[in-house]
Structure 1
Amino acid sequence: MDVIVLGGGLMGTASAYFLARRGARVTLIERNQVGTGATVASFGNIRRTGRHLTQLPLAHRSLSLWGEAEKMLGQDVEFRATGHIRLIFDEDGLADMRAYAEAARPWGLELEELGSREISARFPGLGPDAIAASFSPQDGSGNPRLIAPAFAEAARKLGAEIIEGALVEKLERTNSGFLVATSKGSFAAECLLNAAGAWGAGIAAQFGEEVPLDARGPQMGVTEPLPHRILPVVGIWTRDKEHGAYLRQVERGNIVFGGAAERVSVDLDPGHAIADPLRLPVQLRAVARLLPAIAEVAVIRTWSGCEGYMRDMLPVMGQSATTPGLFHAFGFSGHGFQLGPGVGDAMAELITTDRCETPLDDFSVDRFSHHSS
């Protein structure tokens, strides 16, 4: 089986790897360089807490693969299962957390509830005003800069062809499959996987599948290095977007943070988003609620990227509804990083066997046309 994968982010490279592992002949085509789109803009959060319930089977599948990543890929992608804590500062947040924990239990996610004393005893310095928190000990973080290149390199070793800097000029459905004409030549295959991130909706539209996707860029920042004391990834349960910050400390000591700032619109050509320095004060106030000590620390870099957001915040995943041999995996709406390995594994299973043990029905590309009819 020949498969062309469009898009060299985490979804595309993971799919290329798992397809190659299943014996498919894979050509991955990336318009820039591997891992430079939404993946590199990612916070690196590997969390299941707060996910839409129907995403949890995919998230569980992915978490087990994150645990195998270093052995599987032959390099350390800095996955650390240090836990994920979400702090709570008001009764609304507490009610939301408890309702979610109850609903998620049948889906295989157990959340531990911590009181304020437990937070200060186990995680000193975090959220001194927090009244409670949820804690998921198996979750954690990984390095967004390492993971897509690692999957691409591992796929290459299994025989996949990875083509970077190739602009797609024409896509055609042929009698035997698909023909993709690019600035670096033409490629043919019986199957096509659209893993093009924020550009994925444009590709789907060429095959008569319209989906509502907005390209947006998150605002991310990182501080100077500090002594390494914060192990878990830190987030918040809140209904107020201005408080919705998150942070983690990497082993080198820097604190990476994001959230609490409106995502900027991104023009898909060239597809680069620029962090807005005027949004930084609001963001840092929200981060300081989680970690007051950050108020004394220098921010050394801010950045953004290009992510594809769906109207319902659920990805498009699975077979095309119009075109045999076409598959989609895009629109992960700013929370795809944890899912990446599971997406690649699930799509490879679906493409090569015509079935998938992980339920994907909620992510079908035609769900929007059902709603409009």
Structure 2
Amino acid sequence: MTWIETDVLIIGAGGAGTSAALHLARRGVRCVLLERGLVGGQASGVNYGGVRQQGRHPAELPIARRSMTLWHALKDLAGTDAEFTVSGHLKLARDAAEEADLIAYMEIAKRHDLPLRLIGRNALHDDYPWLGPAALVGSLAPEDGSANPRLLVPALARAARAAGAQIREHAEVTAFSHDRRGFQVIANGTAWRAPWLINTAGYWGGAVAAAFGEPVPVTPLNPNMMVTEPLPYFMEPNLGVVGGNVYLRQIPRGNVVIGGGNGTSDPAVPWSRPSAEETRAAMALATALVPRLSGANVIRTWTGIDGEMPDHIPVIGESHTTPMLLHAFGFSGHGFQLGPGVGQILSELVIDGRTDVPLEPFDIGRWTGKAA
């Protein structure tokens, strides 16, 4: 068999994988990105599109802060802003327990220099008169916003190709191994070899990790999404709630994108389907928050396949079994905003051997019992 040599092989062309390819190629590193379907075809391309820092696990905030600088530079980095809009992220509490959660998070945000503004009930309904009585208290993150997930990953892929990266779609990896000469990967009958392997394969990243002796409890996650017909524009901020069981935003052309609940999937095929029951339940939660949505027609529903970890934060960082293997998967439904920053961090680990972003909480050893 003839092996094609490169410096870095990447499996999985979501936000993190395409961003890693772009940052590596821009620094002169030869890399090949292999994707079983189309770039952005799963979680990175079919999500809600929230570009938020508010409400994240404290360990994720340094990555989110790093990534937000790239979102603001996206036009220069990838040739498009992917409809990124700084609209603010308004997180709502619907009872006293949720209000306490919002207040407690203010201190976490302060430690990470994330500006938040707590809004009491009277001010909340004065500022946002379209909110219903279910919304009691809000927390506004003015730096946050949203973008179009259909645009981000293809743009990162185009920029990576222009910088010299090879991106192979419909290139399902069927075999991989490692020896003293590095990693060997076979995809669609083509054999690749490289000293570095980056695992950004989403839910399927768990299978890659397991093949190198690092099994983790990743499960498929299928966020249930819908969009309404166009309505007169009235809702500027991206809305979320404590507990995350519904989230919604209105795009400038008037459609309201709503997420809540989970669909179904079979990752072995792979296929995924939204759930009519979950769609109805999410719409009920959304109309309780925003009564103006009552009677709006839902014109499309969808879902995709992401990987979820039991602690709801991803695996990011070096393998403990295999030198020069890096993992970044299991983003648990909230990796869209993180993707550009995670890709840059992975490129730093390859080229510089270090990054200034703390990765210890994401270490794969928390599941394999092999400490960092």
What TM-score, normalized to structure 2? Answer: 0.95
Shift of 1:340: 0.8
Tell me, yes or no, if structure 1 residue 25 matches structure 2 residue 37.
no
Tell me, yes or no, if structure 1 residue 7 matches structure 2 residue 6.
no
CA–CA distance in structure 2, aligned partners of residues 129 and 188 of structure 1:
56
Name 1:356's counterpart in structure 2.
Answer: 355
Aligned residue runs from structure 1 range 33-44, under 5 A: 33-44=38-49
Aligned residue runs from structure 1 range 126-205, under 5 A: 126-205=131-210
CA–CA distance in structure 2, aligned partners of residues 371 and 118 of structure 1:
50
| Cα deviation digits, residues 185-206 of structure 1 (max 9, x gap) | 1111110000000100000001
Q: Which runs of 5+ in 2 are unaligned?
A: 1-5
Aligned residue runs from structure 1 range 208-247, under 5 A: 208-238=213-243, 244-247=245-248
Name 2:290's counterpart in structure 1.
Answer: 291
CA–CA distance in structure 2, aligned partners of residues 33 and 292 of structure 1:
38
Tell me, yes or no, if structure 1 residue 100 matches structure 2 residue 105.
yes
CA–CA distance in structure 2, aligned partners of residues 89 and 175 of structure 1:
57
Shift of 1:369: 2.4
Identity of aligned residues (%): 42
Shift of 1:184: 4.8
Name 2:80's counterpart in structure 1.
Answer: 75
CA–CA distance in structure 2, aligned partners of residues 207 and 47 of structure 1:
33
Shift of 1:265: 4.7
Shift of 1:115: 1.7
| Cα deviation digits, residues 177-228 of structure 1 (max 9, x gap) | 1111111511111100000001000000010001110012111000001122
Q: Which runs of 5+ in 1 are unaligned?
A: none
Whether contact under 8 Å (1:84, 1:137) holds in the other structure is yes
Residues 123 and 71 of structure 1: is their aligned pair in 2 closer, same or farther, counting only changes over 3 Å? farther
| Cα deviation digits, residues 16-39 of structure 1 (max 9, x gap) | 111111221010000000000111
2:266 counterpart SS class: coil
CA–CA distance in structure 2, aligned partners of residues 371 and 161 of structure 1:
34
Length, aligned pairs only = 366
CA–CA distance in structure 2, aligned partners of residues 131 and 216 of structure 1:
30
| Cα deviation digits, residues 50-103 of structure 1 (max 9, x gap) | 111011100100011101101221123111111000112211111111011123
CA–CA distance in structure 1, aligned partners of residues 150 and 317 of structure 2:
26
Whether contact under 8 Å (2:11, 2:33) holds in the other structure is yes
1:17 counterpart SS class: helix
Name 1:248's counterpart in structure 2.
Answer: 249
Name 2:258's counterpart in structure 1.
Answer: 257
Shift of 1:288: 0.7
Which moves more between the two structures, 76-85 or 176-185? 176-185
CA–CA distance in structure 1, aligned partners of residues 179 and 153 of structure 2:
30
Output the amino acid matched with 1:251: P
CA–CA distance in structure 2, aligned partners of residues 235 and 77 of structure 1:
21
CA–CA distance in structure 2, aligned partners of residues 275 and 265 of structure 1:
6
CA–CA distance in structure 2, aligned partners of residues 297 and 193 of structure 1:
44
Output the amino acid matched with 1:90: D
Structure 1 runs (4+) greater than 6 angstroms displaced: none
Which moves more between the two structures, 228-237 or 112-121? 112-121
2:138 counterpart SS class: strand
The CA RMSD over aligned residues, in Å, is: 1.5
Whether contact under 8 Å (1:35, 1:145) holds in the other structure is yes
What TM-score, normalized to structure 1? Answer: 0.95
Output the amino acid matched with 1:318: G
CA–CA distance in structure 2, aligned partners of residues 43 and 319 of structure 1:
29
Shift of 1:264: 3.9
Output the amino acid matched with 2:311: D
1:117 counterpart SS class: helix
Shift of 1:119: 2.1
1:219 counterpart SS class: strand
Whether contact under 8 Å (1:170, 1:181) holds in the other structure is yes
CA–CA distance in structure 1, aligned partners of residues 263 and 246 of structure 2:
16
CA–CA distance in structure 1, aligned partners of residues 359 and 333 of structure 2:
19
CA–CA distance in structure 2, aligned partners of residues 334 and 306 of structure 1:
9
CA–CA distance in structure 1, aligned partners of residues 242 and 177 of structure 2:
46
Whether contact under 8 Å (1:87, 1:127) holds in the other structure is no
Whether contact under 8 Å (1:234, 1:290) holds in the other structure is no
Shift of 1:49: 1.3
Tell me, yes or no, if structure 1 residue 318 matches structure 2 residue 317.
yes
